Chains A and B, each alone.
Chain A
Amino acid sequence: TQLLEQSPQFLSIQEGENLTVYCNSSSVFSSLQWYRQEPGEGPVLLVTVVTGGEVKKLKRLTFQFGDARKDSSLHITAAQPGDTGLYLCAGDGSSNTGKLIFGQGTTLQVKP
């Protein structure tokens, strides 16, 4: 069974601080996706990483896919209150049908 372990599960920081969220697995994924979810809403895609070692940047967010394609990280620089939300990593399941396996999520609170 493929599992994604996401850490930390909760994070409360001050505006302007940096943070990193980790997503780890013992399984290899052909791709990993990062989503942000607001309460009561659907997950919104932030990025998809496909190539081992790949780094993608989205404004103050930097995403990295591990060389072995078993782990990924999300780094936020100078966090702002608008970054508050639930961040989910998700990998494609082993069935090659596209179903996603989600991590437990990281609830981020950025205080002004």
Chain B
Amino acid sequence: AAGVIQSPRHLIKEKRETATLKCYPIPRHDTVYWYQQGPGQDPQFLISFYEKMQSDKGSIPDRFSAQQFSDYHSELNMSSLELGDSALYFCASSLRRGVDFVVETQYFGPGTRLLVL
């Protein structure tokens, strides 16, 4: 079965540079979530999109922005990178069902490991 695809898998940047992370959800999934996981920490929710509209926002810095495109893939744009941005960034996708928008289980991608030097 197709899974969530993230690219790149590894990324090394210098301080103050920019980075773009990409996420391709499972086919037919309409919702994408972004999480950040620091070393030895649990994943923290950043932002989510449903049908190309932002649906929720968590602890995402103002230096970061994201969007979901017409083909449902999503990109997380990170500017003015700081050392503390070094982390694993996960994308997850799910499918909302029915008029009550019951959210189905989230499936995670393999993550992008970002290292800021």
Interface residues of A (CB under 8 A from B): 33, 35, 40-45, 48, 88, 92-93, 95-105
Contacts and interface: CB of A to CB of B under 8 A. Distances in A.
Given A35-B108, A98-B48, A88 B103 contact: no
Contacts of B107: 45
Given A33-B105, A97-B55, A99-B56, A42 B45 contact: no
18 contacts: A41-B111, A42-B92, A42-B108, A42-B109, A43-B90, A45-B107, A88-B43, A97-B48, A97-B103, A98-B48, A98-B96, A99-B33, A99-B48, A100-B33, A100-B43, A100-B45, A100-B106, A102-B43
B45 A101 contact: yes
A89 to B, nearest CB: 9
B42 A104 contact: yes
Contacts of B106: 33, 45, 98, 100
Interface centre among B45, B88, B107 (most CB of A within 10 A): B45
Interface in B9-60: 31, 33, 35, 41-45, 48, 50, 55-56, 58
Contacts of A98: 31, 33, 48, 55-56, 94, 96, 103, 106
A97 B31 CA distance: 9
Contact of A103 (B6, B42, B48, B103): B42
B73 interface: no
Contacts of B94: 98
A69 to B, nearest CB: 15
A108 B57 CA distance: 32
Given A44-B108, A100-B43, A105-B42, 7 more contacts: A48-B105, A97-B55, A98-B56, A98-B103, A98-B106, A99-B45, A99-B56
